[in-house]
Amino acid sequence: MQVYGQSTFTMLANPVVSTEATSVLYDAFATFTDDSASYNYTVVSGIAYLSKRATGFTIHGSDMDIMVEYMESRLDILAPTTDTDKCVAVDSPSLVTSIGRALLTGTPSTPGDTRKLKAAFEFSELLESGEPPCSCKSKPRPCIFIHGLGIGTEETENIDSYPRYWGNMTEHAPCCTSIKYAILNTLNNSWTSDTQQQKVCDHLLPVSNTSQGTIISDTIVVTHSMGGLMVAGALANGKCSFDKSTSWVATSTPMRGSVASDHFQESCKDKTNILMEIFVEQTGFCPPDDGIRSLAYENDSYSNPELNKAYKAAQKVYRTHTSGILCSNGYSGLLSSYQYQYWGLGLMVPHKTDENDGMVEFWSCAGGIPKSEFGDNYLDRYYVTKINHADASFRANDARLDKARMPRKWFECLL
C-alpha cells in the first residue's frame, strides 16, 4: 500500500483506555508530504481530521484551469507612474469566507473555521457571462424532446418535465410555446425497430394542434443521441413526415454508430480490460440489450448489412431535415458530477479518432455533413463543441467564457 506515493511512513499512536477499563481506542497522528502540500491526519476520540498546508492549488473550470503556486516571499505589484485620475477601475473585490481567504492568499485559516459539504467560495461566481440573451427569430412553436439510449421505462403520454435527463431548459427556449418530453424504452428496443419508430411518431404528432394524419406540423423536435436515429429512421421508413413548418434540432447523434457499442459488447465477453468490464457490469449494459446492439459501428464487425443500410437511409434524412446539429470533437466537458465518467470513456474506449465526446465520434455525429460547415461558436447552425456526450442533453450549465462550450446558449439562439 502507498499513501501519497510513500510505501513506508511513521504514525504516532496513543492508547486511550475507557473509564470502565474494558476497551481501548487509539488516538493517532501522521504527516504526509508530496510536491504540492503537507497533509496532517489526526484521529482523536474516533473522529478523523485532515489539515492540509498547500504550496498552491488548482482551480478547474469549464473555461480554463488555473494553477496557483505560493511564493516564499511577497512580491508587491506596483502600478506604472501615471495620472491615476484618468483611469477607471475594471474590477472590484469579491466576498469570500475565511477559508476562501486562506486559500486565495496562502495564509492559514483559524482553527475555528470549519465547513461541511458547502463551498467556501465559488470561483465561477467571480466570472460573469457577457453573452446577450437571444430572442426567437422564427415562429414560436411547441417543443418536444426525444432522449437517447439508457432509459428502461416508458410513458404512453408525453410528460411536462424531465430534469434528470434534460436539465431545465425553460430559460433557454424562447421559441418554445410549450415543452414536452417523450419517455421511451431505449434499452430493450433498437432504433431500427418498426414498433419503436411508430412510437416516436405517436409522441410527436399530438404536440401541435396543426399536425394531421402522419404529417407533423408547427413543431420543434429536439433529439439527443439515439433519439436522433429513431426520428431519422421513422422519417426514412414513412412512419410519419415533417412539414416545412417543423424544425428538427439534433445533438450528439451516432449517425454511423458508436465504437463504444462495439467495445461494450466486447467487454461483456471479458475481451477488453478489467476497468471497462466492471463498468459495463455496474451500468447494466451486460448482457447487451437491443438498444446498445443497434448502435454498432457502421461496417464494423458487430454491424450487419441490414443495419448498415438503415444507417445510410437515416443519414440522408438527417442531412435533409435537420435545422441545427450539435456535435463534439472533445470529451473534456462541462463541470458536472458525471464529467470524470466521460473522461474515462474517452480514454478507455478505442475510438477511431480523438475527436469524440466520450461516446460518439464527431465524424459519426456529422452524418456526412462536411466538417468545414461546422463552427465552434454558439451562433453556428452546425456547432462543434468540446462537451461530453451527456452535456449535449443540456443538463449541465454552460461555460461562462468559452463559446465552444455553450450548448444551452446555442439552442437559445438557433431558431
Take residue 331 and report the three cell numbers written for it. Answer: 470529451
Contact 403/386 with Cβ under 8 angstroms? no
Residue 283's pLDDT is 64
Q: What are phi and psi of 347, to 5 degrees?
A: -85, -40
Take residue 73 and report the three cell numbers written for it. Answer: 516571499
* Cα R_g (the chain), whole angstroms: 27
Cα–Cα distance measured from residue 266 to residue 187, given in angstroms and rounded to the nearest whole number: 18
Q: What are phi and psi of 30, to 5 degrees?
A: -150, 150
Cα–Cα distance measured from residue 96 to residue 126, given in angstroms and rounded to the nearest whole number: 10
Name every residue whose Cβ is closer than 8 Å to that of residue 309 and which is 6 or more positions away in sequence.
none
Report the alpha-carbon angle 409-167-407, nearest 5: 25
Cα–Cα distance measured from residue 155 to residue 299, given in angstroms and rounded to the nearest whole number: 34
**End-to-end alpha carbon distance in the chain:** 57
Residue 394 is given by DSSP the state T
Helix (H) or strand (E) holding 304: none
Cα–Cα distance measured from residue 7 to residue 57, given in angstroms and rounded to the nearest whole number: 25
Helix (H) or strand (E) holding 343: helix 339-348
Cα–Cα distance measured from residue 366 to residue 225, given in angstroms and rounded to the nearest whole number: 12
Residue 401's pLDDT is 86
Residue 272's pLDDT is 65
- pTM of the complete model: 0.71
Helix (H) or strand (E) holding 318: helix 305-321
Closest CA to 404 of 172, 136, 65, 63: 63
Task: Report how far apart, in Å, the C-alpha atoms of 198 and of each of 194, 222, 256, 308 are.
Answer: 6, 17, 22, 21
Take residue 269 and report the three cell numbers written for it. Answer: 465477453
Name every residue whose Cβ is closer than 8 Å to that of residue 276 and which is 6 or more positions away in sequence.
263, 264, 267, 348, 349
pLDDT < 70 regions, the chain = 1-9, 32-39, 49-67, 70-73, 82-86, 88, 90-92, 94, 96-100, 102-104, 106-130, 271-285
Contact 143/79 with Cβ under 8 angstroms? no
Q: Which CATH superfamily is domain 141-414 in?
A: Alpha/Beta hydrolase fold, catalytic domain (3.40.50.1820)
* pLDDT tens figures, 74-87: 777 777 776 666 67
- Judged by DSSP in three states, 265 sits in helix
Residue 390 is given by DSSP the state G
Residue 340's pLDDT is 87
Take residue 403 and report the three cell numbers written for it. Answer: 463559446
